[in-house]
Amino acid sequence: MSSEKRELCLSGSGVTKVFGFGDKKTVAVDHVDFDFYTGELISIVGESGSGKTTLVKMLLGLTGVTEGDISFMGQKRDIRTHRKKKEYWKGIQAIFQDPFSSFNIFHKIDSVLLDCINMRGGRRLPKETKIEMMTEACSFVNLKFEELTNKYPFELSGGQMQRLMIARIFLLKPKILLADEPTSMIDACSRATILDMLMDLRRETGMMIIFITHDIGLAYYVSDSVYIMERGRFVEYGSADEVILNPKAEYTKRLLTDVPKIHDPWEFSRNKRYDFRKPPEAADGK
Amino acid sequence: MKNTLRQVFRPGKFLAGFIIFAFILLLTVLYPLFNPGDPLAMIGLNNFTKPGTYVSVYDSLNVNRTFVFKLPDAAEKRIGSKLFPEDRETIKDYLTRLGLPEDSIDIDDTHDLMALWWNNYDPANQIGKTIAERRAYTALDNKLAGIFVSEDLEVLQYDPGTDEYVRKKMVTENDYVNVGDVANTIWLPLGTDNFGADMLKKLVSAIGTSLLIGLIAGVVATMIGLLLGLLAGYLGGIADDVIMFFTNLFTVIPGFILLILISYSIDQSRRGATTVAIVIGLTSWVWTTRSVRAQVISLRNRDHVNLSKLSGHSLPRIVVGDILPYIASYVVMAFILQISSAILAEAGLSMLGLGPKTTDTATLGLVMEWSIMKSAAHISGAWWAYYPVIIVIALISFSLNLMNTGLDQIFNPQLRD
Ligand SMILES: Nc1ncnc2c1ncn2[C@@H]1O[C@H](COP(=O)(O)OP(=O)(O)OP(=O)(O)O)[C@@H](O)[C@H]1O
Ligand SMILES: [Mg+2]
């Protein structure tokens, strides 16, 4: 990691999120500071319930920040109006944890992809161009648009849905992608495919990826910087090598002891969560 | 479109409910076409006329004759009525001349008299003094023979257009007349009520009005409930607090009590069916609001809503496109239940005397009220005045509830196969 000319893209200071009042108060995110640079791949690692999703929602502007500031491209983020929000979301997009609840079951796949083209100002493009763009996006994630058109998202498998999500990102080409455990709900084979595709996409567009995971081995393999999150706080952060090969915090050490072999890529399915709703998909990655 | 329709009608329950409801609806639409006129018109003077077919005796020609129906020995009595006293005298006269003892002849006993005549009369034995007398005996014999040949009767109907009596049917005297051929009969399948109005006609018109009341009340309640629920649930914060304050207020006061109070405070003359329907709607939106709000709250944090936001959709578009479809099945079900409960509420109000105060429309509630009013139908045994109403109310509720249960599959594409 050379320190020359690193452009600060997203940063926060004292970012806090509190749910509820009084006795029911939960501090989901507790005064976290961070600096994310353009083009970096950052991992945020933490156990279940440590506040990762909450932080993602705050970064996306989907939920309010109780305390603290978030800056975007060096300026204090301003998303008070719908128009400003829309502008902000052109630059920052996300893939959610659970693909099964990420799509509106009443909208067809076409409309999901068309929304992305419209978002990028392609509303007036001729129909053929739009179809061409959608076909390209689908083939990027190894899906066939002709087979998807006029289908509903719930007719796809979890892995296919998550790839559709990536196709969305492919069309939107945002500056920042927040990937909130995009592989936690799908089987190991599709997991590798999804990760591959994310890496391809990053190579192609140079976007910054904030990768949320509870798998520290995976974080080490993919990321430049790693933030370790414990109960709403960042207990340790730095470059992937620094944090994982030379951990200082107890929590990081504990996370590391759970991982059998760090250096084997795609082997770290510590928390293999098989999806029982659909049979495991055959590996059809690149 | 075709597939959607197939989906709609596949669940058996929905289909059953739909058929019952459609039948009732069709009845209210079609029956008035076949039987037009004011449903509240009084057609008879009697209270609670039994079901049946009635012939008007009022506007028929006064023929100064009494028809006694289902008479025993009809033929004999008919002949008896045709045998005039002078004919009987002539018979007696003839028989005494033949030498029969006078006291053995009873001129009032038609049967015996006729038997004696036929046994003793001999056309060859002309015992008359004069030619005229002899002719009279021959004529009498001819007449008596002719009595057994029944005459044809004409069934006539007055045609006001041509001012003439038009023959509708010829029937022989000793035959049956089809009631359909007789002018001015009325079929009262459910008899009449205590005002002498055709019960079925009134019932059909009452069903129509009650369904309309249900529809108006259902639309009002669902609209208010849906709007407030969506606002409270999606916006949250102060909007939620204010709306929930009023909702809780309305929850604490029982809806029916409120309904009674409002109905009571509205001037009787202005308390028409529509007013009552709106009042019912205004007091029954609470539960729709509460449950819509609860569902919206759980939906608004779902990832598909987040994704929609990230796609730059505006608030109205998210509410309509990402929230509403998910609660649509619920809202439609609530709407259907509102209809059936509004019909019941109207019935309840009317029984208390707080229903629509109109003398020119009938509602199911009013029909019930009228049937128990002064000359209580259940005491006088007039089952046709209250059982049909009760059955109709039950059927409407039942069919609406059946349809309700079958609806889930239509709205949720994930449940389709
Ligand atoms: N809308 C909410 N209302 C109240 N509490 C919430 C809400 N969302 C999250 N929390 C709480 O905040 C804490 C952090 O939740 P969060 O979803 O951010 O965890 P996470 O790190 O994403 O976990 P996982 O790995 O299981 O996804 C949890 O204790 C959760 O109960
Ligand atoms: Mg999470």
CA distance A83 to chain B (A): 9
Whether B355 and B363 have beta carbons less than 8 Å apart is answered as yes
Among candidates A93, A104, A106 on the partner chain, residue whose Cβ is nearest the Cβ of B310: A93
Superfamily covering domain A1-80+210-286 = P-loop containing nucleotide triphosphate hydrolases (3.40.50.300)
Handedness of CA B263, B268, B273, B275 (dihedral sign): negative
The CB-based long-range contact list for B53-58 (8 Å cut-off, 24+ gap) reads B53/B179, B53/B185, B53/B186, B53/B187, B53/B188, B54/B185, B54/B186, B54/B187, B54/B188, B55/B179, B55/B182, B55/B184, B55/B185, B56/B184, B56/B185, B56/B186
CA distance B122 to A187: 121
| A154 touches B: beta carbon within 8 Å | yes
Q: Which residue has the higher pLDDT, B415 or A144?
A: A144
Instruction: Kindly state if the Cβ of A213 falls inside 6 Å of ligand 1.
Output: no
Assess whether B139 and B161 both reside in one domain.
no
Neighbours of A184 (CB within 10 A): 19
Separation between Cα atoms, residue A82 and residue B99, nearest integer Å:
128
Pair B235, B270 in one domain = yes
Q: Whole-angstrom Cα distance, residue B394 to residue B416?
A: 31
Contact B138/B122 with Cβ under 8 angstroms? no
A182 lines ligand 1 (CB under 6 A): no
pLDDT score recorded for residue B63: 52
**C-alpha distances out from residue A146 to A128, A134, A143, A149, A153, Å:** 13, 10, 9, 6, 14
> pLDDT grade, residue B133 (50/70/90)?
confident
Q: Is the CB of B12 inside 8 Å of chain A's CB atoms? A: no
In a domain, B94, yes or no: yes
> Are B93 and B64 in the same domain?
no
Per-residue pLDDT at B149: 67
User: Domains in chain B: how many in total?
Assistant: 3
Tokens of A112: 């999901």
Q: Give me the percent of chain A exceeding a pLDDT of 90.
A: 28
Strands A92-95 and A75-76: unpaired
Distance CA B233, CA B387 (A): 45
State yes or no: pLDDT of A270 exceeds 70. Answer: no
CB B149 within 8 Å of CB B140:
no
Do B272 and B366 belong together in one domain?
yes
Supply the DSSP symbol for B189.
T
B111 and B166 part of one domain: no
Ligand 2 centre to CA of A237 (Å) is 19
Q: Write the residue in B306, B314, B413 that is nearest to A105 by C-beta.
A: B413
Statement to judge: residues B230 and B162 lie in one domain:
no
C-alpha B69 – ligand 1 centre gap (Å): 90
- C-beta of A51 in contact with ligand 1 (< 6 A): yes
Query: Could you give phi then psi for residue A278, rounded to 5 degrees?
Result: -130, 150
Task: Look at residue B76 and tell me if it is in a domain.
Answer: no
Side chain identity at B174, as an amino acid letter? N
Asked if B398 and B292 sit in the same domain, the reply is yes
Q: Report DSSP state, residue B223.
A: H
> Is residue B87 a contact partner of residue B60, using CB atoms and an 8 Å limit?
no
Contact check, Cβ <8 Å, A105/B412: yes
- The answer to whether A229 and A44 have CB atoms below 8 angstroms apart is yes
Residue range A173-197: mean pLDDT, rounded: 84
Closest CA to A169 of B310, B300, B315: B310
3-state secondary structure labels for all residues of chain A: CCCCCCCEEEEEEEEEEEECCHHHCEEEEEEEEEEEECCCEEEEEECCCCCHHHHHHHHHCCCCCCEEEEEECCEECCCCCHHHHHHHHHHEEEECCCHHHCCCCCCCHHHHHHHHHHHCCCCCCCHHHHHHHHHHHHHHCCCCHHHHCCCCHHHCCHHHHHHHHHHHHHHHCCCEEEEECCCCCCCHHHHHHHHHHHHHHHHHHCCEEEEEECCHHHHHHHCCEEEEEECCEEEEEEEHHHHHHCCCCHHHHHHHHCCCCCCCCCCCCCCCCCCCCCCCCCCCCC
pLDDT of residue A269: 38
Q: Say if CB A41 and CB A239 are below 8 A apart.
A: no
Q: Which of B41-45, B104-108, B351-355 has the lowest mean pLDDT?
A: B41-45
Closest CA to A62 of A53, A75, A51, A49: A53
For residues A34 and A9, give the distance between their C-alpha atoms in angstroms, rounded to a whole number. 11
The alpha carbon of residue A128 is apart from the nearest alpha carbon of chain B, in Å, by 22
CA dihedral (B86, B88, B93, B98) positive or negative? positive
Q: Evaluate whether residue B139 is within a structural domain.
A: yes
Segment A216-224 shows an average pLDDT of: 84
- How far is Cα B75 from Cα A33, in angstroms, rounded to an integer? 117
Query: Are residue B363 and residue B401 in the same domain, yes or no?
Result: yes
Domain that holds residue B167: 52-70+150-188
pLDDT at B47 over 80: no
- Residue B171's DSSP bridge partners are B153
Interface probe for B, chosen from A58, A62, A104 (most Cβ of B below 10 Å), is A104
Gap between the Cα atoms of A260 and A243, Å rounded: 17
Ligand 1 and A52: CB distance under 6 A: yes
Cβ atoms of B375 and B194 closer than 8 Å: yes
CATH label of the domain that carries residue B210: 1.10.3720.10
Of A96, A116, A152, nearest to B306 by CB-CB distance is A96
- The atom number, within ligand 1, closest to the CA of A232 reads 14
Which amino acid is located at B389 in the chain? V
- Residue among A86, A98, A112 minimizing CB distance to B312: A86
Is A50 a pocket residue for ligand 1 (Cβ < 6 Å)?
yes
User: How deeply is A118 buried, as exposed, middle or buried, from its count of CB atoms within 10 A (0-12, 13-18, 19+)?
Assistant: middle
Mean pLDDT of B229-257: 88
Structure tokens at A51: 């506040």
Residues in CB range of B252: below 8 A, 6 or more apart:
none
Q: For A268-272, B132-136, B281-285, which range has the lowest pLDDT when averaged over its residues? A: A268-272
φ and ψ at A32, to 5 degrees? -100, 145
Across A253-276, average pLDDT: 53
CB within 8 A of A240, min separation 6: which ones? A43, A219, A220, A223, A224, A225, A226
Give domain limits for chain A. 1-80+210-286
Both B244 and B97 in one domain: the answer is: no
Which pLDDT tens digit goes with each residue over A29-86?
A: 999 999 998 888 999 999 888 999 999 999 999 988 999 999 998 888 888 888 999 9
Claim to verify: residue B184 and residue B244 sit in the same structural domain? no
Q: Which two tokens stand for residue A76?
A: 């204090």
Residue B56 is predicted with a pLDDT of 72
Over the range A62-101, which residues count as b (16 or more CB within 10 Å of their CB) and which as e? Answer: bbebeebebebeeeebebeeeeebbebbbbbbbbbbbbbb
Q: Ligand 1 within 6 A of A271 CB?
A: no
Token pair for A86? 């829309």
The C-alpha R_g of chain A, in whole angstroms, comes to 19
pLDDT bracket for residue B412 (50, 70, 90): low
Most confident of B69-73, B74-78, B379-383: B379-383
DSSP state of B312: T
- Among protein residues, the one whose CA lies closest to atom 29 of ligand 1: A49
pLDDT at B242: 94
Q: Tell me the residue type at B166.
A: V
Q: Whose CA is nearest to atom 26 of ligand 1?
A: A48
Q: Whose CA is nearest to atom 13 of ligand 1?
A: A28
Chain B residue numbers with beta carbons less than 8 Å from the beta carbon of A98 are: 303
Residue A262 in this model has a pLDDT that exceeds 80: no
Q: What distance in Å separates the CA atoms of residue B413 and residue B7, rounded to the nearest whole number?
A: 10
Please check whether residue A101 touches B, CB under 8 A: yes
Asked if residue B222 belongs to a domain, the reply is: yes
Size of interface A-B (CB pairs under 8 A): 57
| pLDDT: which is higher, A249 or B182 | A249
Both B286 and B357 in one domain: the answer is yes
* Mean pLDDT (whole number) for B172-194: 76
Q: Is residue B207 part of a domain?
A: yes
Residue nearest to atom 10 of ligand 1 (CA): A28
| Closest listed residue to residue A30, CA positions, set A246, A252, A231 | A231
The Cα–Cα gap between B294 and B301 comes to 12
Closest residue in B to A56 (Cα) is B306
Contact between A132 and A85 (Cβ < 8 Å)? no
Mean pLDDT of all residues belonging to chain B: 81
| Token pair listed for A236 | 């340790």
Instruction: Tell me: pLDDT of B66 over 70.
Output: no
Where does the pLDDT of residue B9 fall: very low under 50, low under 70, confident under 90, or very high at 90 and above? low
- Do both B205 and B181 map to the same domain? no
Q: What is the pTM of this model?
A: 0.74
pLDDT at A55: 93
What ipTM was reported for this prediction?
0.85
